[in-house]
Amino acid sequence: MNIRQFKETIAHRLMFLLCLFVLSLVFLMVFGLYQRAKPILAVSSMKDLVFSANWHPTQGHFGLAGFIAGTLWVTAIAIVIAVPLSLLTATYLSEYCSRWVREIIKPVIDLLAGISPVVYGVWGMIAVVPLVRDYLMPFLSERLPFFPFASENYTGFSALTAGIVLAIMISPLIISIIEEVMRAVSFGVREASVSLGATKWQTTKWVVLRKASPGIVAAVILGLSRAMGETMAVLMVAGCAMQGFPKSIFDTAYPLPALIANTYGEMMSVPLYDAAVLLAALILFLITVFFNIVAWGILLYIERKEA
Amino acid sequence: MQTKTHISARDLTVSYGEQQALNHISIDIPDKKITAIIGPSGCGKTTLLKSFNRLLDLQDGVRVAGQVLVDGENIYDPGVEKTHLRKRMGLLSQRPTVLPMSIYDNVVYGLRIHGVKDKKILDQAVERYLQEANLWSEVKDRLHSSATRLSIGQQQRLCLARGLAVEPEIILGDEPTSALDPVSAEQIEQRFLVLKNQYTIVLVTHILRQAKRLADYVIFLYLGNLIEHGPAEQVLNNPRYAKTQAYIEGKFIEEPTIHKEITLQKERSADYLTSTLLALDELQVDQVLKVVVDSEPTMNEISKAVELKCHKILEVKRIDLLHWEIIIQKQNVNFII
Ligand SMILES: Nc1ncnc2c1ncn2[C@@H]1O[C@H](COP(=O)(O)OP(=O)(O)OP(=O)(O)O)[C@@H](O)[C@H]1O
Ligand SMILES: [Mg+2]
């Protein structure tokens, strides 16, 4: 065997090993979390822990349902705001604006994507909290006194506040990806559509977005995962008071990451607290994995339908 | 020609950034005839075709100057409704491009975007136009499967069906049979011969025999210049200019070496004729004279006079808004003026 082939083999093996290592980290993490969460699973069943919102650690009740619901609630609000915003912005950037406008806006958006969550949190506290407290909440909750608007929380720290901050935070990432995916759609299909007399909007809607749909789904899921795991910004504006299930976008929410960051390592005197928080981490992990698998399924479905 | 003109380009110049793709093209395309655009690769055939339905507008950095008249109306006027204009022309692009949807949806795409919703009309259109494009029998059992799964040749025919379905007046085909085997190509050619009773057809083709079979009228472009145009028999069998001849005979197209160049400006007509002939006198047989003049009538007169004296005109070219150049090769004739 000559030197070149030897190098080739070594490189091949090494890369394979590294790949395996990264993969095993995931399993190690799940395993580690599970090990540490075991004590609490010995006391109460998984079902109770996941579906009960009774969170009174000092009395030995560790129902995580409120936190899980909080996570889903805040993420859902963020996605509902972020997706249309990102989709339209990306469409504008990719299809409508002139080249120099794009060349100015694109770097700014990429810059936004890189700003630290703490900054978004601070901005949320000084700008979004008052906006929700003084305008959105009094206005909407009075006029539409039913789900999901009715609420008694007048502080401005709420699920909606967190959702807005998160939406602003994940939008740059989503916009950036969607814009790239849309621009990668071949010029030929645009020409084909336009030459049949379609307007730009019709072309975008029926051809470009359709062709870009797998990428768009991927971008949204990436944003969703990011929103779900985001801790700092949410911690600062969501209120983080445990009130059972959130019943309104104006109620406070206490998502899992905030719970973990807030309490892990602090309330260790309470028996089983440690295990409960690590179980929360495991659940967060599993939820994220679940959504990624769903996304994968959607992608496969779209691709199969297309090709 | 006694036929009506459908599309005419007036002094059309197109450039992509720095690169000029078409130089001062003026041409009339007859109504309900097949016009073939021929010329070597990169000479601007696709560009000319796309300038007819304003498809060039989609690209950044394309500049179009001059006019294109469709039924006498300049389509580059600011008030022109582009979508409506494009609907009047079915364009078959050089690379067949199906839309990312089913075969059925591809065919009715044009109808749908123009507001047709009635399922019965759509169904009929699908069958009718797929049949017109010779594709129906191959796909009738899988109309709702994705069009991207069709073979390239089938895609090309699907594009034809899709283009016909918007009921255009004009069909612009950019090498519409390039991906087809001889038999399918022949079938499509037959279709075009039928279609020309209803449509004005402009075809780009690399195949001279195809041009001979189909075309009533031929346009020869070379490096963005309009070299020659006219009735098919004339251009293809008896071309006037050297470059056309070379192209049609499959020879390498050469730029003639210019031995002498004169520029005639604002002179009286007798003078420029004499100047030209005098200049020719000074040359040896087969040497080449280039004459630059500043009006079309002058250009025509000089060409006529020179041909009367049996010299050979290699090329007549418009170089910019005002100037024309005539390339003349001296022949072995011994007239004395
Ligand atoms: N988008 C573009 N940007 C820059 N230059 C272009 C563009 N499209 C075409 N050109 C140039 O314009 C000239 C004419 O191109 P065009 O596509 O019209 O040629 P064509 O005659 O259709 O050639 P072919 O037979 O190979 O299709 C070429 O020199 C080409 O390089
Ligand atoms: Mg071309």
Determine how β-strand B5-16 pairs with β-strand B19-30: antiparallel
Q: Would A44 be classed as within a structural domain?
A: no
3-state DSSP helix/strand/coil % of chain B, to nearest 5: 35, 30, 35
**Record: contact A196-B101, CB cut-off 8 A:** no
For an interface test with B, the pick among A195, A199, A211, A216 (most B C-beta atoms closer than 10 Å) comes out as: A195
Q: Would B178 be classed as within a structural domain?
A: no
Each residue of B238-267: b (16+ CB within 10 Å) or e? Answer: ebbbbbbeebbeeeebeebeebeeeebeee
A304 to chain B, any CB pair closer than 8 A? The answer is no
Distance CA A47, CA B69 (A): 75
Same domain as B220, residue B160 = no
Is residue B188 pLDDT above 90, yes or no?
A: no
Which of B53, B84, B146 shows the shortest C-beta gap to A195? B53
Is residue B52 pLDDT above 50, yes or no?
A: yes
Q: Would A20 be classed as within a structural domain?
A: no
Which of A188, A207, A306 shows the shortest C-beta gap to B148? A306
Tell me how many domains chain A contains: 1
Position with higher pLDDT, B335 vs A274: A274
CATH number at residue B34: 3.40.50.300
Ligand located closest to B39 CA: 1
Cβ-contact B325, B291 below 8 angstroms: yes
Is residue A272 pLDDT above 90, yes or no?
A: no
Same domain as B320, residue B267 = yes
Distance CA A293, CA B119 (A): 38
Same domain as B46, residue B94 = no
Instruction: Render chain A in DSSP notation, one character per residue.
Output: --HHHHHHHHHHHHHHHHHHHHHHHHHHHHHHHHHHHHHHHHHS-HHHHHH---EEGGGTEE--HHHHHHHHHHHHHHHHHHHHHHHHHHHIIIIIS-HHHHHHHHHHHHHHHTS-HHHHHHHIIIIIHHHIIIIIHHHHHHHS-STTT-----SS-SHHHHHHHHHHHHHHHHHHHHHHHHHHS-HHHHHHHHHTT--HHHHIIIIIHHHHHHHHHHHHHHHHHHHHH--HHHHHHSB----SS--STTS-B--HHHHHHHHTTT-TTSTTHHHHHHHHHHHHHHHHHHHHHHHHHHHHHHHHHH-
Q: Would A34 be classed as within a structural domain?
A: no
pLDDT given for residue A204 in this prediction: 94
Q: For residue A155, what are its two tokens?
A: 């502080």
Q: Would A166 be classed as within a structural domain?
A: yes
For an interface test with B, the pick among A102, A196, A206, A207 (most B C-beta atoms closer than 10 Å) comes out as: A196
**Percent of chain B's residues with pLDDT above 90:** 53
Q: Which of A188-192, A239-243, B293-297 has the lowest mean pLDDT?
A: A239-243
Same domain as B139, residue B66 = no
Statement: the pTM of the whole predicted model exceeds 0.95:
no
Q: For residue A18, what are its two tokens?
A: 């590294």
Q: Would A10 be classed as within a structural domain?
A: no
Same domain as B276, residue B237 = no
Q: For residue B276, what are its two tokens?
A: 């030209």
- H helices of chain B, where? 45-52, 82-87, 103-113, 119-132, 136-139, 152-165, 182-195, 208-214, 232-237, 242-248, 269-282, 296-308
- What is the CA angle A306-A197-B13, rounded to 5? 115
Is residue A252 pLDDT above 50, yes or no?
A: yes
| Domain limit, last residue, from B167, B183, B216 | B167
| Domain limit, last residue, from B225, B247, B269 | B247
Mean pLDDT for all residues in chain B: 89
Is residue A193 pLDDT above 90, yes or no?
A: yes
Taking the CA atoms of B112, B114, B117 and B122 in sequence, report the sign of the dihedral they define: negative
Which of A187, A202, A210 shows the shortest C-beta gap to B100? A210
Judge if the upstream peptide bond of residue A148 is cis by omega within 30 degrees of 0. Answer: yes
Nearest chain B residue to A304, by CA: B146
Residue with tokens 């909750």: A141
B240 to chain A, any CB pair closer than 8 A? The answer is no
pLDDT given for residue B1 in this prediction: 46
Is residue A266 pLDDT above 90, yes or no?
A: no
**Residue numbers of the domain that contains A245:** 68-268+296-306
Is residue A121 pLDDT above 90, yes or no?
A: yes
Q: pLDDT for B13-26, tens place per residue?
A: 999 988 999 999 99
Instruction: For ligand 1, atom 2, name the residue with the nearest CA.
Output: B16
pLDDT given for residue A13 in this prediction: 93
Q: Would B172 be classed as within a structural domain?
A: no
Same domain as B143, residue B112 = yes
Residue with tokens 């197109």: B14
Same domain as B2, residue B149 = no
Q: For residue B77, what are its two tokens?
A: 């006027």
Determine how β-strand B62-70 pairs with β-strand B5-16: antiparallel
Q: pLDDT for B82-118, tens place per residue?
A: 989 999 998 998 888 999 999 999 999 999 999 999 9
Under DSSP, the state recorded for B274 is: H
Is residue B139 pLDDT above 90, yes or no?
A: yes
Same domain as B212, residue B72 = yes
pLDDT given for residue B267 in this prediction: 62
Q: Would B180 be classed as within a structural domain?
A: no
Q: pLDDT for A283-297, tens place per residue?
A: 999 999 998 888 888
**How far from B82 is each of A48, A151, A212, B70, B114, CA to CA, in Å?**
64, 52, 26, 12, 13
Cβ-contact B39, B206 below 8 angstroms: no
CATH number at residue A225: 1.10.3720.10
Distance CA B329, CA B322 (A): 23
Tell me how many domains chain B contains: 3
Same domain as B65, residue B3 = yes
Which of A192, A199, A211 shows the shortest C-beta gap to B93? A192
Cα Rg, chain A, nearest whole Å: 23
Distance CA B116, CA B129 (A): 16
Cβ-contact B5, B73 below 8 angstroms: no
CATH number at residue B291: 3.30.110.40
Ligand 1 atom closest to residue B221's alpha carbon, by position in its atom list: 21
**Residue numbers of the domain that contains B269:** 260-329
**How far from B142 is each of B102, B117, B118, B328, CA to CA, in Å?**
9, 21, 21, 61
Query: How many Cβ atoms from other residues are within 10 Å of residue A108's Cβ?
Result: 10
Distance CA A5, CA B165 (A): 59
Q: Would B133 be classed as within a structural domain?
A: yes
Q: For residue B60, what are its two tokens?
A: 């950044």
| Domain limit, last residue, from B122, B150, B167 | B167
**Percent of chain A's residues with pLDDT above 70:** 98
Residues with Cβ within 8 Å of residue B268, at least 6 apart in sequence: none
User: Ligand 1 centroid vs B38 CA: distance in angstroms?
Assistant: 14
Residues in B closer than 8 angstroms to A207, CB to CB, are 99-100
Position with higher pLDDT, A166 vs B256: A166
Residue window 92-111, chain B: list those with CB within 8 Å of chain A. 93, 95, 97-101, 109-110
Helix axes A65-91, A209-229, angle to 10 degrees: 140
Assembly ipTM: 0.83
Q: Would B118 be classed as within a structural domain?
A: yes
Residue window 107-166, chain A: list those with CB within 8 Å of chain B. none
**Percent of chain B's residues with pLDDT above 70:** 96
Mean pLDDT computed over A138-145: 85
User: Ligand 1 centroid vs B47 CA: distance in angstroms?
Assistant: 6
Q: Would B181 be classed as within a structural domain?
A: no
Please name the amino acid found at residue B191.
R
Distance CA B6, CA B68 (A): 10
Residues in A closer than 8 angstroms to B108, CB to CB, are none
Residue with tokens 């950019």: B174
Q: Would B157 be classed as within a structural domain?
A: yes
Distance CA A108, CA A176 (A): 10
Q: Would B141 be classed as within a structural domain?
A: yes
Residues in A closer than 8 angstroms to B89, CB to CB, are 195
Cβ-contact B116, B108 below 8 angstroms: yes
Is residue A41 pLDDT above 80, yes or no?
A: yes
Mean pLDDT computed over B137-141: 93
Taking the CA atoms of B261, B266, B267 and B269 in sequence, report the sign of the dihedral they define: positive
User: Among A203, A201, A177, which Cα is nearest to A188's?
Assistant: A203
